[in-house]
Amino acid sequence: GTPLPLEMDACQVSARVRMRPPPWGWVVLALALAAQSSAASADTQVDELLSKMTLHEKVGQMMQIDISLLTTDKLLDKAKLRDWLHKYRPSSILNSPYSGRDCTVAKSGWTAQEWRAFVREAQSEAQALGMPPLLFGLDSVHGANYVSGATIFPHQIALGATFDREIAREVGFATARDTLAAGVPWIFSPILGIATQPSWARVFETFGEDPLVSAELGSALIRGAQSESGDPQLPRAAACMKHYFAYSHPESGQDRGPTWLSDQELRDRYLPPFAAAVKAGVSTAMSSYNEINGVPASASRKWTVDVLREELGFEGVLVTDWGEINNLHSFHKVASTEEGAVGLSMARSSTDMSMVPLSGSFSDHLLRLVRAGTVSESRVDESVRRVLKLKKDLGLFDAPVPLLESPLHQLVGKDGDLALRAARSSVTLLKNHHEAIIPEGGRVCHGVHQGDADQGADLESFGLADGVRTAEACLAKCADNPWCGTWLFLGSWEEAHPDWPVCYLKTQAAQPLPGKGSAEDKSGTCDVVLDEGTLPLKVADLRKVVLTGPTVDSLTYQAGGWSIGWQGACGDADFAGGETVAGALRRLLPDTVEVTQTKGCQIRAPSHASATCAHEEEDLAATLEAAAQADVIVLALGEENYTEKPGDINDLALHPGQVDLARQISAAAPGAAIILVLIEGRPRLLHGIPSLPNVKGVVHAYLPGPHGGTAVAEVILGLTNPSGRLPLTYPSKASAIHQHYQVQSVKCPGSAAAYLSIGVADCPVEFPFGYGLSYTSFRYSNMSSTPRGRVAHPGAFGVSLTVTNTGSRSGRHTVLLFAVQDYRYGVSPEKERLVGFTQVTLDPDESALVTLRVETSQLSYSDEYLNTVVESGEYRLQARSLDLEVAEEIVTVTALAPVPFANDGSGGAPSGHVYGFEVYTPATPWVLVIVGVAVTTACCLAVGAALALRVMRSEEDKVPVKRNWSGTWVQMQSRMNSRNTSRTNLASYMLATGGATTVPRNASHNSLHMHPTPVESAELPRNHLIREESRESADIGANNGTNRRSPHEASPGVDVVIHPQPSASGADDDADEENDLRLRR
């Protein structure tokens, strides 16, 4: 096709592009064929086994039961085991007998050796019955949390705050290794939901609210978990991406509630982590409890077949969550019986295994359905084949009965250093109060400029009566105020408004505007010098420290849910190691500091929705008395342990008792510095606590695990320089809890004096996404992109910048790179989008060049017809340092093969013409691509010849038409397919040289709308109007006449019909009607 001209300032053009095989495609093909040959051998073994299985045995392979069915008093009951294996032949066993955690029993779980003993007995029984090996699975979601003595890591929300792929990979590896030590090769993690509903009880199980962070850290954890373990009998584990799909945004905020989101948002925000996990080779997936726009996930053909299997190419095992197929009947009400629920799931979804989990009902129902012909046996075979292949890949066919001893046993519980490193990297400093000071030599102020200053917070103002009559006098006032960063002198007001202030002192956020305003107006700046801040604490100056609050001394609260038990531990004695915040501070503070510890208040949660933090009068009085005499008060607030449905709440606000405690301490100790520590699984509303006058520091620890107390104490005392950044937006008001950083249009009331059209502003948040302070400072400079200028799509570009540690301490820093598209045609753009992140560790005055690679496909979005579109044009790439200073680089993305983009329906020619292009990933083998290209080329040549022949017949009636908008306009109506049907769009050929260049081969999805496109030197019939219409259009009228096509003529494709325009007199031109040109595919 014709290459896209680079000088297209007036017309921002983009195109639908299909990626073509690279030159080394044949090498990839050869390697793929070799891999397929190896896989074919494995598949043959699976098929042979499958062919010998009875229907009863096959159905059993689709069934997963809970371990409690096989135990009595937390011990293996061999009679139950034999009965279940003989009667149902179940494929998989999940859970721990201690997941319900009976707190009246001292023992909290099985060790790795005890687990192995159970697995050996169960596998031996299965082997004796001639069954395929059993597949054991555990919810190892932050370490092997159901294996006694194993290391428990920070929850995923804390890992999200690290933004560190390597830490995620190492945690995944250690988690899988300790689980494999127990003889269990299936781990139900990572959780890839996007935390956009802060009230949800499982926010802490996610990596936060950003799709890229979830995709990158989730993929890293998967690669770590599925690495070689070091045990030849159980060589690797199978990770499980969950919960598929969009489970993390229940509209009500209640767990398992329905999700109502547009397909555009589902694809752009919630699907990318799962797509990345499939690309990373995840072995299994777990479907979710929720309904997606009214359709339960376990009964959704669209999401589990069309998208998961066909679009994403997932070939692994899909298991339901707990009892979810039965829930189709009892909870979702989409089936009138349990048997009907089984049939519905088999017919509509690609579910391979039902987590039943407490009965044999699934097996009974499915057997009847297959024997009755309602469910085909081939559908069963399809799932069983995937289950057997997974077992083979995990080495279970080679060593179904593992040895009692494993080389992995000596490593269980030995990852405390990794857990501590992860916690240190996650702790996020959200507030550190600084005082502005005037140095001994005075402040440095810069030159006086003619001009105004932009809007910034006013500190003080002075008038002529105050003796301020010159710019120099105003500058002197600024120099005397340590917080003044910008001053403005309005000399033009002296005569007109003698009573008005003429000197304004502003914060450092305001900036001079040289050349603005009258010549008499002057402005300038003074450097603001800050002290070192309240944190880290200056231990040498401390006399008395108070430690208080419900989470200050609790390993149980630090670990949260899914720790020892499903809902968490019974008490700190359940943990093999760790340290609370109070314990660590007591250990690290010198003996010269008097430390007083109180409870403050105690969380009482008969249900989490009604949880309170109650205080006893004596303890509260002691707390306030000690606080009044303290130099520093460490106040640790947060949540109790919970997960899933029991963790539902009715109010996102922090427990009333905790808010009251903070306010009372603040009032009782006005001279003390309060350091607020947050230990919580979701961002509870703080109701102004961080803004209390003596709250000098805020430290967010998330759920850092048993080792997190040490990390928090080290940050408070300066032994660790904090580097965590918020992985989600922390809301400040109940009315704006969905103010996520990407959202463009969520606004709140602005100034009452403003006009209604502009009297709105971004809703306030407590702390924004990506926020996090350090004890040092970093500066960004020399930001650039490679290649410079325009970047072709599909393709990639690099963004480089120099990061310099301008402080006095070494520090680890996460660089976040955002893409901003100011305007997008037809679909509102996100406010900004994270497109890259990385870490750098620098000593004082050290600099490093950081380069981030960005694929142009990362700039894509879904249009209203669900086409994946990347628009050509300028994108602003921004990196913000910790003080929110912005470094920016502009990158222009240019299409190489444009086709028409969606029309707005106005029929007119927009002034800033925009096209879009669609990103495709080849989903077919290279040979098929080549064949497709050849066939498409032949069709194009044939159509081109037919077009030329028809045009020649009306040669005498044609005149040259120069580029202009008045005589031509194009409208293309989209024809939606029920499924993604490959089609070739020849619409762009109708415009000879006016803008279209090439036509995409095998363009999928739907035809796109075309906007008015200028035509240059194209020859068209006189007084004609070009119009593109779908063949389904019933009315192809010309000059108000009728030219109706029978509905039976409708077929896929697009007609290009040249209709005559009315002559000047308005009369019909019958001769021109004979020249109507139809281009049919």
CA distance 839 to 213: 13
C-alpha dist (Å) from residue 664 to 628, 674, 889, 1022: 11, 12, 48, 85
CA distance 61 to 388: 8
Which distant-in-sequence residues (6+ apart) come within 8 Å of 881 by Cβ?
777, 778, 779, 780, 887
Q: Is the peptide bond before 794 cis (omega within 30 degrees of 0)?
A: yes
Segments in 434-518 forming alpha helices (H): 471-480, 493-496
CA distance 136 to 59: 17
Q: What element of type H or E holds 659?
A: helix 656-668
Q: Is the peptide bond before 787 cis (omega within 30 degrees of 0)?
A: yes
Q: Is 321 a catalytic residue?
A: yes
Find how far residue 980's CA is from the centre of its chain: 26
CB atoms within 10 A of CB 518: 13
CA distance 945 to 648: 67
Q: C-alpha angle with apex 772: 769 to 778, nearest 5 degrees? A: 120
Q: Catalytic: which of 164, 321, 352, 863? A: 321
Please state at what angle helix 708-717 crosses helix 581-588, rounded to 10 degrees. 50
In single-letter form, the type of residue at position 729 comes to: T
CB atoms within 10 A of CB 750: 14
Q: Name the 3-class secondary structure at 838.
A: strand
Which class for 222: exposed (0-12), middle (13-18), buried (19 or more C-beta within 10 A)? buried
Which distant-in-sequence residues (6+ apart) come within 8 Å of 919 by Cβ?
17, 19, 793, 794, 856, 857, 860, 868, 869, 870
Q: Is the peptide bond before 536 cis (omega within 30 degrees of 0)?
A: yes
Find how far residue 560's CA is from the centre of its chain: 22
Which distant-in-sequence residues (6+ apart) come within 8 Å of 695 by Cβ?
431, 662, 666, 674, 675, 676, 689
Count the residues in the chain: 1081
- What are the residues facing 919 on neighbouring strands? 17
The residues annotated with a catalytic role in the active site are 321
